[in-house]
Structures are given as C-alpha cells and as structure tokens.
Amino acid sequence: MDFLNKIAKEQSQRNQCIMELFDDSERASDFSVCAANLLLDYSKQNINRGELTDLMTWAKKSHLTSKINSMFSGDKVNNTEKRSVLHTILRVPTEIRNEMFGGLSLEIHNAEKQMALIVENVSEGKYKSFTGKTYTDVLAIGIGGSYYGVKVALSALSQYNSTNLKVHLLANVDGRAVANKLEKLDAETTLVVVISKTFTTQETLLNAETVKDWMTGELRSIEAITQQWFAVSSNVEKALAFGLKKDNILPMWDWVGGRFSIWSAVGLPLALAIGNDNFSLFKEGAYEMDKHFQQADFDQNMPVLLAILGIWNRNVLNYSSLAVLPYEHSLRIFPAYLQQIDMESNGKSVSNEGKKISWSTAPIVFGQEGTNGQHAFMQLMHQSKDITPADFIVALRGNSKYKEHHKVLLANCIAQSEALMKGKSLEQAKAEIVSDEKFSLAAHKEMKGNTPSNTILLESISPESVGALMALYEHKIFVQGALWQINSFDQWGVELGKKLSSQVLSLMDNNTETENDMSASSLNLIKAYTQID
C-alpha cells in the first residue's frame, strides 16, 4: 500500500474536474468494458489514463493474479478459519468440474441432484404434505448470508417464477414479522426450509421453533415436521436434533462462505420459485463472469476495474461511502444485499497477518431504487460538502407492456449520473435567476458536481444477467480485500454482539446469577423492560 499512500499524498491537492477528462475524445468508448452481457461504463470516474495504468501496475505488483488463482484453485484463502473459498466451483459446468475437482465434484453433483429432485417433486405436486395436500407455499427461515442472496435473487427474478409456489422468507426475529408470515400461510400446504450454516444462529432457531410449534399445533402431529421440513446446513447433528429427517438435510460446506452461498443448496427456495432450468441459467450467468474474471487482462477486467476504481475513490480521493442505485424495481434489494457482501467482507482493519493496517477499507454502502433515492437522499449527493461516488445499475429493456415507463426510468438514470458529474456553477445558477427572485437564491441552486459514478448496463433482467451481476460484485469485493491485504471471508466483528445478547437476555429474565459488566446505560434499559407488566 506504500504506492497508494504516496499517490494519496500527491493527490491531496488534486483539483481534477471529471468533465475536463472528456477532452479525450476516446474516453467514453475506451473507459467501458463488456463481460457476460453486462456493460460497465466507468468514464464518469475521476481518473485519467495514466493514473489508471499506474493502479493496474500496482495491482499486478501486488500479486493479484496469483491471489485470484489461489482462490479459484481452493487454497485456504480464508486464513483465520483455515478454509478454502470455493463458491465459484458451484457454477462450473459438471464435466469441467469433474476434471478439475474429482471427488468434491461428485459431492456437489449429489447435492445438486437432491435439490433438483425436491424442486421437481414439490413443484409438480408429487411430494405431498403431511395431510396429503399439494404444496402451495414455501417458508424459508434464515438470516444474513442464509437470507440476503435468496432475497435479492428472488425479487430480481420474480418475473421468472415458473412454479405455482409462493416463496416467503423469514429472517427477522421480531414477533411481528413471524405473525405477519404465519397469518398468510396454511400449515397443511406449506413447506418449510431452515437455512443455517451453523444451525446455532439465535434468530433463526427461535423463528424455526415458533414455526414448528405453529405447524405441530395446526396439524396436531410432530410427524409433520419430518415430512414438510427441509434444512440446508453444515451442522447435520443439530438439524437432526431439531427434528428433521436425515434425507431432508442438504449440505452447506465450510468452503462456501454464507454470504456467497446462494449458488449452493441455499438457493433451494429460489429454485422452488423459478424452477430448475432458470436456476441453472442463473449459475451459468455467474460462470460467464467467473471465466471473464480469470481470463481477461486487468485493464479489460470488469471486476478488477470496479475494485480498483473503488480503491481509488476510497484511498486516494478519500471518499468514504458508495451509493448503489438500481434503476430497476426488481433490483431494489440489491443495495441491502451488497451491504452484507461488501461491508461484512471488507469492513476490517487488520491484515491477513493480524497487523493493524493504516489504510481505510470498505466504504459505507447504501442505496435504494434510484428513482426513489432522487426524491430523498440524493439531495445530499448533489449539494452537501461530501462526495458520494455511485454505482448506477439499469437494464436496457424493461417491462414490455409499459415501455414509456422504462424510457422515463432510463432517462432519469442517465440524467442523474450526468448531473452528479456536471453539477451547476454559481455563474450558471445566477444566470437562471428570474427577475422577481432574490439574487442570493443562486447560491442555493449551485450544485457541486464532480461526483464520480459507474453505470452498469444489463440488456435485460434475466437469470443469466442477475447471476453475472452478483458474481461481478462478489469478485470486486474479493479483489479489494486482496489488495487491502485483509481476509474478506471471515466476520469476527459480529461475535461480541451475539455474546452480549445472551447476557442481556439472562438479565432480562431477572437471573441474578448472571455475571455482567454492562454499562449503567444498558442496565437502565434492561430495567425498563423488566418493569413493564
């Protein structure tokens, strides 16, 4: 990182205007790249050719190629947990995978077969419920990585739902969320999938217990659980102890990180909605991106470019956030999904060797559907002092029935990236003042501009394009972690809160034996709870 520190110092007085970079007439076409049917236009970034070339050279010198190979070949790149990171092999076509990974490939193949069979039999009504009914609904219980991937892909691909099953997700432990789901469901026709890699996650287990009580109450038999419930977990013992049938437990391997696990049996609820064929296409799209990522030169490599531009913005230009703005209703969950895969992966400050690092890592990722953001937080992006880089994501084709809507959507997407870059000078604002307006109003209308953005174009929303998009960001995050020299695949930072929540729970139950060193603030809050009737 010495190189980055050096250029960050040199750049501290940098006053480069993005618009001026377009004096280079080839910029728009040269600063864009296609892969897996996606197009990334990064010409609105605040970086010139020379700077980009220097960053590429730095990435090469930082052994990025060997780090990429290392991940794909199964080295234990998750060094704190001594695990390989191989979600990518779940997307490799079987014949190629067999050659590369032999025994492991067979294990994957068996899980795929088991999953495809469940999807086929449930959606075709061959698997019946405990009372002999055809399933109408699926309730998937899981949180974090056992939720976001499914959630984002389910909503992105809702137009591809090809079975008659309605899939519902339950992540939040809030009783209101549970009540809200259960009131819509009929125990006789609901199939339940518990997704938990560890099968120890407090929220998931409590939700699962409550749903189990509901179902056994409704159907008056514990046998319903053995028949109507499936689990996806690496902790078979715990899943069995919960009451699940061995044949109904699908594997989750320790070499697949939770937040990268949608490609495994964790994708079961998704496949139950979109069907086996669409699920395969979803993986194929991701595989296209994997091949591109492994083969393309860095200056034509979409994930590498996205990662390096993010590092430029974070570590050289010192921008601390990233707005993710899908101009696409079906991608509305994408910012929330990215928050997990980006911030949980790279929100760290210790190197792989366990040393404190001096550079910043993951930006604060936020966002929502772009059109809605325009009428809310984008005011800040246009006029506050801080610069917020943005990723615009949009599909060229929208809903075929409402073409005019899609034109307006796309127009807004392009206009916002233009406005963020161009801004409006005080002079321009003054020139717009009409005679009965106060001249001082011009200052309020000035817009800072010079805000960098990427635009990612999908031809249309499809299983392949959504798969490719998700793989693109997975790899972007991997590259950033590799260059920041951190482990993107652990999440020790979430542990303390979990431990303290057990202590708090015990105090809430008035358990006087509980050892604690809670602050007076927290003890007061606990007391407030214990005093309600």
Ligand X SMILES: O=P(O)(O)OC[C@H]1O[C@H](O)[C@H](O)[C@@H](O)[C@@H]1O
User: Which residues carry out catalysis?
Assistant: 344, 375, 498
**Distance in angstroms (rounded) separating the CA atoms of residues 179 and 288:** 41
**Distance in angstroms (rounded) separating the CA atoms of residues 294 and 30:** 21
Query: In whole angstroms, how close is the CB of 195 to ligand X at the nearest point?
Result: 6
Query: In whole angstroms, how close is the CB of 9 to ligand X at the nearest point?
Result: 36
Query: Does the CA dihedral 289-290-291-293 come out positive or negative?
Result: positive
Query: In whole angstroms, how close is the CB of 196 to ligand X at the nearest point?
Result: 3
Query: In whole angstroms, how close is the CB of 234 to ligand X at the nearest point?
Result: 8
**Distance in angstroms (rounded) separating the CA atoms of residues 389 and 309:** 10
Query: In whole angstroms, how close is the CB of 207 to ligand X at the nearest point?
Result: 11
Question: Burial of 61 by CB count in 10 Å (0-12 exposed, 13-18 middle, 19+ buried)?
Answer: exposed
Q: What is the CA radius of gyration of the chain?
A: 25
Among 260, 227, 205, 242, which Cα is nearest to 91's? 260
Query: What contacts 327, CB < 8 A, 6 or more positions away?
Result: 369, 370, 371, 392, 393, 394, 409, 410, 412, 413
Q: For 354, left (φ over 0), alpha (ψ -120 to 50), or beta?
A: left
Per-residue DSSP letter, 159: G
Give the residue with the Cβ less far from ligand X, 269 or 398: 269
Give the residue with the Cβ less far from ligand X, 342 or 344: 344
> Is residue 325 within 8 Å of residue 393, measured between CB atoms?
yes
DSSP structure string for 401-469: T-HHHHHHHHHHHHHHHHHHHH-B-HHHHHHH--TTS-TTHHHHH-B-----EEEEEESS--HHHHHHH
> Is residue 420 within 8 Å of residue 373, measured between CB atoms?
no
Q: In Å, how far are 43, 255, 396, 418, 450 from 424, measured between CA atoms?
A: 20, 50, 28, 11, 10
Helical H segments across 268-389, by residue range: 268-295, 302-311, 334-338, 345-346, 370-374, 378-383
Q: In Å, how far are 314, 440, 475 from 321, measured between CA atoms?
A: 8, 31, 19
Binding region for ligand X (CB under 6 A): 143-146, 196-198, 201, 204, 258-259, 344, 491, 494
Give the residue with the Cβ less far from ligand X, 144 or 269: 144
Give the residue with the Cβ less far from ligand X, 146 or 315: 146
Q: In Å, how far are 36, 47, 74, 253, 301 from 296, measured between CA atoms?
A: 12, 21, 20, 29, 5
The residue type found at 383 is Q
Residue 17, SS3? coil
Residues in the chain: 533
Among 207, 196, 199, 339, which Cα is nearest to 258's? 196
**Distance in angstroms (rounded) separating the CA atoms of residues 260 and 39:** 23
Give the residue with the Cβ less far from ligand X, 385 or 499: 499
Query: In whole angstroms, how close is the CB of 339 to ligand X at the nearest point?
Result: 12
> Is residue 157 within 8 Å of residue 270, measured between CB atoms?
yes
Query: In whole angstroms, how close is the CB of 111 to ligand X at the nearest point?
Result: 16
Could you write out the three-class secondary structure of 196-207? CCCCCCHHHHHH
Nearest residue to ligand X by CB is 144
**Distance in angstroms (rounded) separating the CA atoms of residues 41 and 34:** 9
